[in-house]
Amino acid sequence: MAPDPDIKKKLGLVHVYTGNGKGKTTACLGLAFRASGRGLNVLMIQFLKPAKGYGEHIAAERIPNLTIIPMGADHMCGRDVTREEDMALTKEGMRKAEEALTSGEYDLVILDEINNSMSFGLASPQDVIAMLERRAPNTEVVLSGRGVPQEIIDYADLVTEMRLIKHPFYRGIGARKGIEY
Ligand code: ATP
Ligand code: MG
180 domain-assigned: no
Overall domain count for the chain: 1
146 domain-assigned: yes
Pocket test for ligand 1, best of 17, 18, 20, 25 (most atoms within 8 A of CB): 25
66 domain-assigned: yes
Q: What CATH number does the domain containing 142 carry? A: 3.40.50.300
Q: How far is the CA of 137 from the centre of ligand 1 (A)?
A: 32
Find the mean pLDDT for residues 3-8. Answer: 87
Separation between Cα atoms, residue 177 and residue 175, nearest integer Å: 7
What distance lies between CA 47 and its chain's CA centroid?
A: 7
Ligand with minimal distance to 147 CA: 1
Q: How far is the CA of 174 from the centre of ligand 2 (A)?
A: 15
pLDDT tens-digit map of 70-129: 998 877 666 678 889 999 999 999 999 999 999 999 999 999 999 999 999 999 999 999
- Could you tell me if 73 and 50 are in contact, meaning their C-beta atoms sit under 8 angstroms apart? yes
Pairing status of strand 66-70 against strand 108-112: unpaired
176 domain-assigned: no
Measuring from atom 3 of ligand 1, which residue has the nearest CA?
180
| Whole-prediction pTM | 0.94
Question: What is the SS3 assignment for 73?
Answer: coil
Question: What is the SS3 assignment for 115?
Answer: helix
Q: How far is the CA of 23 from the centre of ligand 2 (A)?
A: 7
Q: Which domain holds residue 76?
A: 5-171
54 domain-assigned: yes
129 domain-assigned: yes
